[in-house]
Amino acid sequence: MGLAGRYNHFAEEFIVDPYALWRRLREEEPVARAETHDGYYVVSRYEHIREAAADTERFSSANGTGIPPLPMVGIIPIDVDPPEQHEYRRIINPAFTAQAVAAHEPQVRAVVSEVLDDLQGRSEFDASDQLGMRISPPVALGYVGFDREDWPALIQGIDDVTRLRSTDSEATLNAAGGVMEICLKLLADRRASPPRGDLMDLILAGAFHGEPLSDQQVLLMLATLLVGAIDTTALAIASSTYYLATHPDHQGYLREHGISKAAVEEMVRWSSPVQVIGRTVTRDTELGGCPLHKDDRVLLIFASGNRQESVFENPDEMEFERPSIPHLGFGHGPHKCAGLNLGKLMLRVTLEELLGRTHRFELINPKAIRWVGGEIRGPKHVMIRAEWR
């Protein structure tokens, strides 16, 4: 069995500190067979990940992007290949342009301020559950158009789906069913009420092959937005806070220079909250010299490509003045993240407010940190001691 044989992106031994293994994989077995989850190929190098993510004819998302499969396959647009995927993206993209998202900054700052008002005065707080997980859910759910009263049940349901997926398929299905029920209620309410000018309106007005979207298509679209927006951004916030809390010089740099666009990109590259994504091979081919056969599955390790030395100098550190090189934190190719501007806005505003309200902050109790894995990876229980202004 090769280096990747026992690789399992859910297992603690591969999520706490995967970087040394990923480095060896990139150097010795860039496309390598893993035997867990019924077998698949692990792709660890930047150039091969980009090649596969860009070539949706050879590497399809139509069987889902989860290894093992997510409880729902066929969610829109992430499990749809071009050209149909383009049609769906055209419906939602207007809500996610840089301009549309920038107009939302006051609402994002209001959410962040409310959370920090609450944390301010506490000597310690958890940057994952008490910061990231209190910012991305209300912002993302509000952005889509979910009613405030449904947020707690949605957040719990989505958390259950991601947490239980590799261990308890019945509980996962139940949780997914609960989330879908709330989506159905939203759909019925919103079809019966006047437009509010949000993303839900765009979805309800959207057409596919010239026909309005069916209820099922709308539900499948909401599923991608829910899975794609919340944990990803929360982990980007928790990871970046963790890095700054353990790197006072970097913290000082941002206090002095502010948070540039490049700095936000660097935080996403370093954190890579979507560590892996799967694809299915559509015909016999090769990648990085490794023969692949129709129906083989490949796991693209975006987070490994983002640490490749030949692409990013000093890759294990955040470099806020790094020359702009496209990173893989938001993916690559046609499926590149639809909500990246919103994710980056939440990350920037959160750290601006945290830096602006503190003289310094540091990590305490590093042993409390628990790394979560799966498609996403990041730290939980990131205990921070802040010296507030």
Q: Give contact residues for ligand HEM (rule: CB under 6 A).
A: 53, 61, 65, 77-78, 85, 89, 140, 143, 224-225, 228-229, 232-233, 236, 268, 273-274, 277, 302, 329-331, 335, 337-339, 342-343
Burial tier of 356 (Cβ tally within 10 Å: 0-12, 13-18, 19+): exposed
Residue corresponding to tokens 């305490």: 364
CB of 340 to ligand HEM, least distance (A): 6
CB of 258 to ligand HEM, least distance (A): 20
Nearer to ligand HEM, 224 or 251 (CB): 224
State the nearest-atom distance from the C-beta of 82 to ligand HEM, in Å: 9
Residue 83: cis peptide before it, omega within 30 degrees of 0: yes
Reduced to 3 states (helix: H, G, I; strand: E, B; else coil), residue 371 is: strand
CA 367, CA 88: separation in Å to the nearest integer? Answer: 44
Q: How far is the CB of 2 from ligand HEM (least distance, A)?
A: 25
CB of 220 to ligand HEM, least distance (A): 11
Q: Cα dist. 312→152, 272, 305, 378 in Å?
A: 40, 14, 9, 21
Tell which phi-psi region holds residue 381, choosing left (phi > 0), alpha (psi between -120 and 50) or beta: left
In the complex with ligand HEM, which residue's Cβ is closer, 139 or 363? 139
Q: Looking at beta carbons only, is 174 or 320 nearer to ligand HEM?
A: 320
Q: Which is nearer to ligand HEM, 5 or 68 (CB)?
A: 68
Helix extents (H) in the chain: 12-15, 19-28, 46-54, 84-92, 98-102, 105-119, 133-144, 151-164, 169-191, 199-205, 215-246, 248-257, 261-271, 302-305, 340-357
Rank residues 13 and 47 by Cβ distance to ligand HEM and give the closer one.
47
- Residue 182 vs 229, nearer CB to ligand HEM: 229
Q: What phi and psi, each to the nearest 5 degrees, are found at residue 60?
A: -95, 155
CB of 292 to ligand HEM, least distance (A): 18
**DSSP H or E stretch at residue 208:** strand 207-208
Give me the least distance between CB of 61 and ligand HEM, in Å please.
6
Q: Which is nearer to ligand HEM, 171 or 311 (CB)?
A: 311
Give the residue with the Cβ less far from ligand HEM, 79 or 296: 79
Other CB atoms within a 10 A radius of the CB of residue 177 amount to 12
Check: CB of residue 324 under 8 Å from CB of residue 265: yes
Measured from the CB of residue 120, what is the shortest distance to ligand HEM in angstroms? 24
- Give least dist CB 228 to ligand HEM, A: 3
Q: Which of 347, 351, 355 is CA-nearest to residue 386?
A: 355
Distance CA 280, CA 61 (A): 6
The residue number with the shortest CB distance to ligand HEM is: 339
Pick between residue 148 and residue 389 the one whose CB is nearest to ligand HEM.
Answer: 148
User: Which amino acid is present at 262?
Assistant: A
Within 13 A of 347's CA, how many CA atoms are on the CB side? Answer: 34
